C-alpha cells in the first residue's frame, strides 16, 4: 500500500473543485463505533492509519474508551525493521514507505504502542505529515549501504539518526493522564494482543484453508494470510460487522470505480441499463470506450454492477489490475435507495467528499478488489473457524 500519496493529493484537489452532491441515499443497516477521520496527508502510510483505526475501534468495542494512538510510532519502528531486512536480502526487497496490516498487528507484542500525543511524528511546528523528503533521503541512504562492498557496523545508527531528525526519537517512556508508561506497558494497559487477530485473503493460486504470504511488494514481512473461498471471505466481513466488530481492509483503488464522490463500485460496461437513452450509439462504442464513459458516471448515477466470481478476482490479481494500493477501515453496512448493499469505509484522507472522509464501497467492489482483511478471531463464523 504505497502508491497513494499522489492519488490522495489529486483527490484532495478534485474534491474541492467538484460538486459534493450525491445521487445516492443510504440507509444504515449496521454501524460500529470508530474514532475520528485522520489525514495521512503527503505520506504513503495508509497501512498504519487504517491499522491503528482498527485497533482504536477494538478499544471502543471493549469499553476501554476513545484513544488516539500514534501512527508514526509504528511507521518509525517498521522503517527500522525494513532497513535491516533490506540489507540482509542484499537489496532484493521493496524498500518503500508502504506496508501491510502485519506491520501494525504483528509488532504489538515486541514494540508496544503509544498515544499520538507521546509521538506525533511532527517536528518544527508542522501541523501535517509530509514524508516526501524523508522517504527520498532514507531510500538514497539504503541504496548507498547495499552498493558498498562491505557493510559497516554503524550503518543502522546512521539510519536511525535520519529517522530521529524527521520523526523524533522513539520514546522509552511517557506520561499519559498522569501515569508513566512504556510502549509495552501501555499496550498491556489497553489490553491489546496481536494473537487476537487473523489475516484473511481469497485467491486460487494457493490451496484454500491454509495460510500463505500474499505476493505483493508491500508484504515485506512475508506475513501469512489464511486463504478462503471468496464467498466465505465475504461471510467473515459480514459476520464481523453484524456482531459489533470492524475490519481492516487492504484494497485496490486505482480504477475508475473508486470515485472522488465517496463511492466505490464495479460498473458493468456491457449492461444495457448503464447505456442511457442512446442505445444505438452505446452499442457502437468499443469496450474500452464504454468503460471510459461508465467511469465518468460513477458517483453521479446509480449503475448496474458486474457479478464478481472467484475467477475474475484471480485474473485481476495475476494481470496486475488488482494491486495492493490502499488500506482502509470497514466499520458498517448500508443499503442504497434500490436495496443494494454497501460497506461503510473510513478513509485516511481527511474529512473530504460528500461523506466527510467516509466511502461507500459496494458488495461487488469489496468482493472484487480486496487483497486481504484483518479481523478479530472471535468474529469468525464458527463453521469457518473450524476449517482453519
Structural domains of the chain in order of their starting residue, each with its CATH number: 4-266+305-387 (3.90.70.10)
For helices 71-88 and 46-61, give the axis angle rounded to 10 degrees: 130
**Radius of gyration for the alpha carbons in the chain, expressed in angstroms and rounded:** 21
* Torsion angle (degrees, nearest 10) of CA 362, 366, 367, 370: 170
User: Which pLDDT score is estimated for 124?
Assistant: 85
Contact by Cβ (8 Å): 348, 267: no
Burial of 241 (0-12, 13-18, 19+ CB in 10 A): buried
The residues with which 346 forms a beta bridge, in sequence order, are 329, 358
**Rounded to whole angstroms, how far apart are CA atoms 297 and 257?**
9
**Rounded to whole angstroms, how far apart are CA atoms 62 and 175?**
23
**Rounded to whole angstroms, how far apart are CA atoms 317 and 312?**
9
User: Which pLDDT score is estimated for 280?
Assistant: 63
Beta strands in the chain (DSSP E): 27-31, 174-176, 179-181, 197-201, 211-213, 224-227, 247-251, 263-264, 326-335, 341-346, 358-362, 370-376
pLDDT (tens, 9 = 90+) of the chain, 388 residues, equals 655 444 444 444 444 333 346 789 999 999 999 999 999 999 999 999 999 999 999 999 999 999 999 999 999 999 999 999 999 999 999 999 999 999 999 999 999 999 999 999 998 889 999 999 999 999 999 999 999 989 999 999 999 999 999 999 999 999 999 999 999 999 999 999 999 999 999 999 999 999 999 999 999 999 999 999 999 999 999 999 999 999 999 999 998 899 988 999 999 988 878 877 566 666 677 777 777 887 888 888 889 999 999 999 999 999 999 999 999 999 999 999 999 999 999 999 999 999 999 999 999 999 999 999 999 999 999 999 999 9
User: Which pLDDT score is estimated for 15?
Assistant: 43
The backbone torsions φ and ψ at residue 376, rounded to the nearest 5 degrees and listed phi first, read -70, 135
**Beta carbons within 10 angstroms of residue 276's beta carbon:** 12
pTM of the model: 0.93
Q: DSSP 3-state assignment of 227? A: strand
Rounded to whole angstroms, what are the CA distances from 269 to 253, 283, 297?
Answer: 18, 11, 11
Strand pairing report for 197-201 and 211-213: unpaired
Residues in the chain: 388
In the DSSP assignment, the letter for residue 237 is: H
For helices 132-147 and 71-88, give the axis angle rounded to 10 degrees: 20
> Cell numbers at residue 102, please?
502485519
Amino acid at each position: 500500500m504505497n502508491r497513494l500519496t499522489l492519488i490522495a493529493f489529486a483527490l484532495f484537489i478534485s474534491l474541492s473543485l467538484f460538486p459534493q452532491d450525491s445521487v445516492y441515499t443510504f440507509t444504515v443497516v449496521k454501524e460500529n463505533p470508530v474514532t475520528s477521520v485522520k489525514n495521512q496527508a503527503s505520506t504513503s502510510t495508509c497501512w498504519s492509519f487504517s491499522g491503528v483505526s482498527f485497533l482504536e475501534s477494538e478499544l471502543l468495542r471493549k469499553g476501554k474508551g476513545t484513544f488516539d494512538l500514534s501512527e508514526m510510532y509504528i511507521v518509525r519502528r517498521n522503517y527500522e525493521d525494513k532497513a535491516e531486512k533490506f540489507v540482509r536480502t542484499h537489496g532484493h526487497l521493496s524498500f518503500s514507505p508502504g506496508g501491510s496490516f502485519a506491520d501494525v498487528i504483528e509488532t504489538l507484542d515486541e514494540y508496544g504502542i503509544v498515544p499520538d500525543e507521546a509521538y506525533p511524528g511532527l517536528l518544527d511546528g508542522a501541523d501535517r505529515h509530509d514524508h516526501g523528503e524523508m522517504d527520498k533521503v532514507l531510500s538514497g541512504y539504503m541504496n548507498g549501504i547495499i552498493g558498498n562492498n562491505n557493510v559497516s557496523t554503524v550503518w543502522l545508527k546512521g539510519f536511525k539518526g535520519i529517522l530521529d531528525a524527521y520523526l523524533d526519537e522513539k520514546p522509552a517512556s511517557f506520561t499519559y493522564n498522569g501515569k508513566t508508561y512504556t510502549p509495552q506497558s501501555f499496550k498491556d494497559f489497553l489490553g491489546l494482543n496481536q494473537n487476537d487477530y487473523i489475516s484473511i485473503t481469497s485467491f486460487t493460486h494457493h490451496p484454500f484453508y491454509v495460510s500463505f504470504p500474499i505476493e505483493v511488494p508491500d508484504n515485506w514481512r512475508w506475513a501469512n494470510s489464511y486463504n478462503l473461498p471468496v464467498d466465505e471471505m465475504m461471510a467473515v466481513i459480514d459476520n464481523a460487522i453484524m456482531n459489533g466488530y470492524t475490519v481492516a481492509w487492504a484494497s485496490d483503488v486505482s480504477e475508475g470505480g473508486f470515485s472522488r464522490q465517496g463511492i466505490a463500485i464495479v460498473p458493468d460496461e456491457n449492461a444495457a441499463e448503464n447505456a442511457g437513452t442512446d442505445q444505438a450509439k452505446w452499442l457502437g462504442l468499443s469496450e474500452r470506450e464504454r468503460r471510459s464513459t461508465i467511469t465518468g458516471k460513477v458517483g453521479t448515477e446509480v449503475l448496474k454492477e458486474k457479478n464478481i466470481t472467484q475467477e475474475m478476482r484471480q485474473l485481476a490479481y495475476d494481470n496486475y489490475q488488482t494491486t495492493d494500493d490502499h488500506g482502509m477501515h470497514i466499520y458498517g453496512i448500508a443499503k442504497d435507495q434500490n436495496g443494494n448493499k454497501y460497506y461503510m469505509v473510513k478513509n485516511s484522507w481527511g474529512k473530504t467528499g460528500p461523506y466527510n472522509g467516509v466511502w461507500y464501497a459496494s458488495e461487488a467492489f469489496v468482493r472484487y478488489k480486496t487483497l486481504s482483511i484483518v479481523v478479530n478471531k472471535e468474529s469468525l463464523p464458527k463453521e469457518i473457524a473450524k476449517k482453519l
